[in-house]
Structure formats: C-alpha cells, structure tokens
C-alpha cells in the first residue's frame, strides 16, 4: 500500500520502510507523508524485495533485524538488484552496535537511523537523502 503525502501535493520522492514492527512503520509513514514523501511499507524482507522489484524508491529504511532475514542480507539483495545500486539504504537500529553497523555498511548501507525516532530525529537523518524532507525542515 502506498501512503501519499498528507499535504495533497504530488510526492517529490518515495521511501520504502521495511520493519517487522507495525508501530515503527506507522510512525515513519506519518512523519514522511507530512513531509511530502510517498511511503510504501513492508513487514518482512521478502515483502520488501518484492516491492523493490516493482518500484524504485529513493530511500529504503530497513530494520537491522527482520523475522525472515538479517538486515545485512536484505541490503546485499537490494544492492544486487538491477535498480538497487542507486538507492539510498538506511539501517534502522535500536542502539549503536558497532559490529552490526560495520556489517550493514559492508553490505552497502548508506547510513543509520536510531529507533525509536521522532519527527526531529528522523527528518534530520533523512534530509540529506530526500529533497522533500530537507525542504520541509528548512
């Protein structure tokens, strides 16, 4: 399901949120939609891969740990896709775990977002990657 921006304007960009937690997906979707970003959600890595095969978002937010695969495995699979090289992938982590961060970076992760997040922390992490978020934050 695609959540369109609340503002009613055409979305400037898209984001795919892949996380087992419906609360994390809902909070991220609301924050991004208010910033003018179209958001798609996936509850598992397999669902996220299927959505990526159909569409190319500007940013993918992926949980460090999913029920069906590791975050690193998902990042590698996204990077191996024909359209995956140009996608910004941000890992969502609960803590600054250096080992997990290193594995995600080596797999191709562009950066990190720490959970739980609020509007200020999520927009600060996404502003460099999503023009719509940067414009709303300015």
Q: What is the pLDDT of residues 78-131, one digit of tens each?
A: 999 988 888 999 999 988 889 899 999 999 999 999 988 889 889 888 888 876
In 10 A of CB 99, how many CB atoms?
A: 7
Q: What is the pLDDT of residues 5-58, one digit of tens each?
A: 434 444 458 899 999 999 999 999 999 988 888 999 999 999 999 999 888 898
Q: Which residues of 23-40 are buried (b: 16+ CB within 10 A; e: fewer)?
A: ebbebbbebbbebbbbbb
Q: Give me the domains of the chain, ranges plus CATH numbers.
A: 2-122 (3.40.50.2300)
Give the Cα separation of 116 and 121 in Å (integer). Answer: 9
Q: Quick check: pTM over 0.75?
A: yes
14: left (phi over 0), alpha (psi -120 to 50) or beta: beta
Query: What local confidence, expressed as pLDDT, does residue 8 receive?
Result: 41
Structural contact between residues 57 and 16, judged by C-beta atoms closer than 8 angstroms: yes
């Amino acid at each position: 399901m695609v959540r369109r921006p609340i503002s009613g304007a055409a979305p400037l960009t898209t984001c795919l949120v892949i996380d087992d937690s419906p609360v994390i997906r809902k909070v991220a979707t609301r924050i991004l939609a208010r910033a003018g970003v179209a958001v798609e959600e996936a509850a598992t890595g397999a669902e996220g891969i299927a959505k990526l095969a159909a569409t190319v978002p500007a940013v993918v937010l992926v949980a460090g740990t999913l029920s069906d695969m590791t975050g690193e495995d998902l990042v590698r699979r996204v990077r191996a896709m024909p359209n995956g090289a140009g996608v910004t992938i941000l890992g969502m982590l609960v803590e600054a775990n250096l080992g997990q961060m290193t594995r995600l970076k080596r797999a191709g992760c562009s950066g990190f977002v720490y959970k739980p997040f609020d509007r200020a922390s999520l927009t600060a992490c996404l502003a460099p990657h999503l023009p719509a978020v940067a414009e709303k934050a300015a």
